[in-house]
């Protein structure tokens, strides 16, 4: 199936994450174990951690500022403790179309107050700050409400990225010689590994693509956020995972450029890494071809062995064809024992 056919087909999909295809993220699931991968793929989505949600907000604030303002709002006048739970539950029930009487009953149960319901409701109704908070929640129904600390972090990180002379270049759309794409989804189904074609459903979602049509070059920056020293990022486990991810994206972009422009463009990947703590510095890293080959076929970086995405796709193909997911391939083809030696450490 061609990329354009798959893109037409995916229009009806409500959510990129619901599309059952192999992504850079799901390759990490398979690296953990085949059965874990199968469980996550069948679920069709995954739950984001709080830190991942912060990263998503930073992405959107940089890439799609208008959309960010539509989907996020800074929390104003938040009420804490049990009364805060009461207020939020009360607002949720009213938003759902129920009466205030029902809202009080449910809010009382969820807040776990021990006093008389009537007394709690009276205090709730008479407190202007609480009522103002409830009005705020109802007015911003459907939006993601961020606390003051997270909102400030997103603003500072966004400014840090856009003030970096190389990072800001990716987001300057004034030059008509370049085409810009944000959150570009790419779907394809065939990948060639050392001369052998593998048919598997594949997908990628890229933060930003900058296309130099004249010279046949695609620049793509991937934004990462970290709470650790941003200058030490290439020494972290997160960086190791990025190598395979960016290499996988390169393959997607080569196919995408061939379908869109009629030829395979040169792909130039970057990592824009912003620190969410301390001075909120931004560093832009350019990754050379050696890193991309390592991400595709495997190798060592910082004395850490990387399984290339090509190796993982071969294994996924075997498990898919044989419908065996409870154990790794070696279990089915061997005696089921994992042998250890000191030289393997």
> According to the model, what pLDDT value does residue 193 have?
78
Distances (CA, A) of 168 to 87, 260, 284: 42, 26, 10
Architecture per CATH, domain 3-22+166-330, reads as: Alpha-Beta Complex (3.90)
Q: pLDDT at residue 11 above 50? A: no
- Between the CA of residue 153 and those of 49, 123, 177, what are the distances in Å? 17, 35, 34
The pLDDT of residue 45 = 58
pLDDT of residue 191: 81
CA–CA separation, 224 and 5 (whole Å): 31
Tokens representing 241?
């995972």
pTM reported for the whole predicted model: 0.86
Which of 43-47, 71-75, 273-277 has the lowest average pLDDT?
A: 43-47
Q: What is the mean pLDDT of residues 292-299?
A: 95
Rounded-to-integer distance, Cα 51 and Cα 152, Å: 14
When computed from its CA atoms, the radius of gyration of the chain, rounded to whole angstroms, is: 24
Work out the average pLDDT over 320-324: 96
Count other Cβ atoms within 10 Å, centred on residue 344. Answer: 6
DSSP string of 273-331, one letter each residue = EEESSTT--EEEEE--HHHHHHHHH-EEETTEEE--HHHHHHHHHHHHHHT--SS-HHH
Nearest-10 Cα torsion for 32, 245, 329, 327? 20
Asked if residue 3 has pLDDT above 80, the reply is no
Flag whether pLDDT at 12 surpasses 60.
Answer: no
* pLDDT at site 190: 82
The CA distance from 216 to 89, in Å, is 54
Q: Report the pLDDT value the prediction gives residue 345, as an integer from 0 to 100.
A: 52
- Encode pLDDT of 111-137 as tens digits: 999 999 999 999 999 999 999 999 999
What is the DSSP secondary-structure string of 99-139? -HHHHHHHHHHHHT--S-HHHHHHHHHH-HHHHHHHHHHHH
Q: What percent of the chain has pLDDT over 70?
A: 93
> Average per-residue pLDDT in the chain?
91
Q: Is residue 27 over pLDDT 60?
A: yes
What's the pLDDT score for residue 271? 97
Cα–Cα distance between 154 and 58 in angstroms, integer? 5
How many CB atoms lie under 10 A from the CB of residue 126? 9
**Chain segment 129-162, per-residue pLDDT in tens:** 999 999 999 999 999 999 999 999 999 999 999 9
CA–chain centroid gap for 22, Å, is: 14
Share of the chain above pLDDT 90, in %: 83
State the burial class of residue 118 (Cβ atoms within 10 Å of its Cβ: 0-12, 13-18, 19+): exposed
Give the number of C-alpha atoms closer than 13 A to the C-alpha of residue 161, restricted to the C-beta side: 28
Could you tell me where in the chain the CATH 3.90.320 domains are found? 3-22+166-330
What mean pLDDT comes out for the span 201-229? 95
């Amino acid at each position: 199936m061609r990329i354009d056919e798959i893109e037409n087909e995916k229009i009806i999909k409500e959510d990129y994450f619901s599309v059952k295809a192999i992504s850079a993220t799901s390759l990490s699931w398979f690296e953990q174990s085949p059965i874990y991968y199968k469980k996550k793929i069948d679920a069709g989505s995954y739950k984001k951690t709080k830190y991942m949600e912060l990263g998503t907000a930073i992405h959107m604030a940089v890439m799609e500022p208008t959309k960010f303002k539509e989907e996020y709002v800074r929390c104003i006048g938040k009420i804490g403790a049990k009364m805060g739970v009461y207020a939020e539950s009360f607002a949720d029930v009213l938003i759902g179309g129920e009466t205030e009487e029902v809202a009080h009953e449910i809010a009382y149960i969820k807040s776990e107050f021990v006093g008389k319901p009537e007394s709690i409701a009276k205090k709730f109704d008479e407190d202007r700050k609480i009522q103002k908070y409830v009005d705020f929640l109802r007015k911003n129904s459907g939006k993601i409400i961020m606390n003051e600390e997270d909102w400030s972090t997103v603003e500072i990180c966004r400014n840090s990225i856009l003030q970096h002379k190389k990072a800001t270049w990716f987001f300057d759309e004034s030059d008509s010689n370049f085409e810009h794409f944000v959150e570009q989804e790419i779907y394809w189904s065939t990948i060639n590994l050392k001369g052998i074609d593998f048919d598997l459903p594949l997908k990628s979602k890229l933060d930003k693509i900058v296309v130099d049509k004249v010279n046949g070059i695609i620049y793509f920056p991937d934004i990462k956020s970290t709470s650790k020293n941003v200058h030490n990022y290439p020494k972290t486990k997160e960086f190791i995972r990025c190598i395979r991810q960016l290499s996988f994206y390169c393959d997607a972009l080569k196919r995408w450029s061939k379908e869109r422009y009629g030829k395979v463009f040169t792909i130039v990947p970057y990592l824009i890494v912003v620190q969410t703590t301390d001075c909120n510095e931004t560093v832009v890293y350019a990754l050379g071809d050696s890193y991309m080959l390592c991400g595709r076929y495997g190798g060592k970086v910082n004395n850490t062995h990387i399984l290339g995405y090509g190796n993982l796709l071969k294994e996924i193909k075997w498990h898919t064809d044989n419908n065996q997911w409870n154990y790794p391939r070696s279990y089915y083809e061997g005696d089921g024992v994992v042998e250890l030696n000191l030289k393997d450490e």
